[in-house]
Amino acid sequence: MGLFNFLQNKFAKGPAIVGTANTLARHFIKVQKENPRMGKQEIYLETLRQRYNLLPLNSVARSELEKQINDKLGFKGFVMNILYAETELASTDSEFIWKVSEIIEKELKKYPGISL
């Protein structure tokens, strides 16, 4: 059990998770600064568009993801939804998902102006 937990922790803190959170935060801030009149939902959708112009996601998954985005969604939830769409995160155990969520929250605290 110790090795499994170690590997989960290593993956949760790895570039796939932390890198995604950082990239999305930077894109969100950029879109927000360039478009100060946009609402949060519009900024989320524009952030998604920019991401998937660079990183392809099948159209069905992308469409489903866009439907889940709303202005009540906190940024951590936004990142988690993207990770669910791009990875096998949803098929892991709840303890690991919780750990990923905590790591994302810690990482996002580095970005003032982003509400979790």
- CA-CA distance, 72 to 91, in Å (whole number)? 25
Q: pLDDT (tens digit, 9 = 90+) per residue, 6-57?
A: 555 555 566 778 889 999 999 999 999 999 999 999 999 999 998 888 877 7
User: pTM of the prediction?
Assistant: 0.84
- The CA distance from 25 to 30, in Å, is 9
- What the block records as the tokens of 92 is 């892991």
CA 44, 95, 1 angle in degrees (round to 5)?
140
Q: What is the DSSP letter of 10?
A: H
pLDDT tens digit sequence for 63-74 = 888 888 887 889
Q: Per-residue pLDDT tens for 40-52? A: 999 999 999 988 8
